[in-house]
Amino acid sequence: MTVPAGAVTAVLGANGAGKTTLLRTVSAVQSPVSGSITMGDHDLIGAGAESMSRRGLSHVPEGRGVIVELTVEENLRLGLLGRNTSRPRMDIGRVWDMFPPLAQRRQATAHTLSGGERQMLVIARALLATPSVLLLDEPSLGLAPRVVAQIFRQLRDAVDTDGLTVVLVEQNARSALSIAEHAVVLSLGRVVREGPAADLQGDTELRHAYLGF
């Protein structure tokens, strides 16, 4: 599969299709059995996790990952530590504008946040490191549609404003396709369809067979 730069690519497929494995392999958490992974001209296989962040690749795994003992603001400051200073557009002030619920709770300990607020926090923390490629695993999991819409709107804005490249793994195919330019459908660990998101959205047979809507 190919991920176009400066766009959102949705990675879709049923439970167990291999979406999480794909992201873990790209970000070097897991080793591939075969094949190749390249970013621009660079071969990523064997590069190691540290080298991934130097190349501007950031992975937000499923299941949140905020540090619950720290405040919202302290969690965000951790994102600044891994910052790629050649892309300085993102700062904590912009996070407060992007996610007003976080601004209201900036001194609150993260364990008091709702699921949606925690998801906003991990995405904001990843954005503060100013990655060029953001891998997001199921950011909508367990969240109310209104919160999902808010998070997706901000992601879309980061792509449009900063030229960020997003790989969005989602079971919520309808929402993911609504913000993606490009899409890939996985089944049993293989790509069964890849193309413009609008084409996949318009393909009723594909939607019924693989996307559940």
Ligand X SMILES: Nc1ncnc2c1ncn2[C@@H]1O[C@H](COP(=O)(O)OP(=O)(O)OP(=O)(O)O)[C@@H](O)[C@H]1O
The binding site for ligand X (CB under 6 A) comprises 13, 15-21, 171, 189
Q: What's the rounded Cα separation, in Å, for the pair 123 and 62?
A: 11
98 or 177: whose CB is closer to ligand X?
177
Sign (positive/negative) of CA torsion 186, 190, 192, 195?
A: positive
Give whichever of 7 and 141 is closer to ligand X, judged by the CB atom.
141
CB atoms < 10 A from the CB of 174, how many?
13
Report the interhelical angle of 115-128 vs 72-81 (nearest 10°).
Answer: 30
Closest approach, Cβ 74 to ligand X, in A, equals 30
Least distance to ligand X, CB of residue 44, Å: 16
Least distance in angstroms from the C-beta of 164 to ligand X: 22
What does the block give as tokens for 77? 């400051």
Cβ 176 to ligand X, closest distance in Å? 13
Q: Contact at 8 Å (CB) between 125 and 76?
A: yes
- Which residue, 18 or 101, is less far from ligand X as judged by CB? 18
Residue whose CB is less far from ligand X, 24 or 87? 24
Cα separation, 190 vs 11, whole angstroms: 11
Structure tokens at 206: 């594909």
Q: Considering the complex, state which of residue 95 and residue 176 has its C-beta at the smaller distance from ligand X.
A: 176
Nearest-approach distance from CB 61 to ligand X, in angstroms: 11
- The CA–CA distances, whole Å, from 63 to 59, 123, 142, 208 equal 12, 12, 10, 27
Q: Which residues pair with 187 in a beta bridge?
A: 190
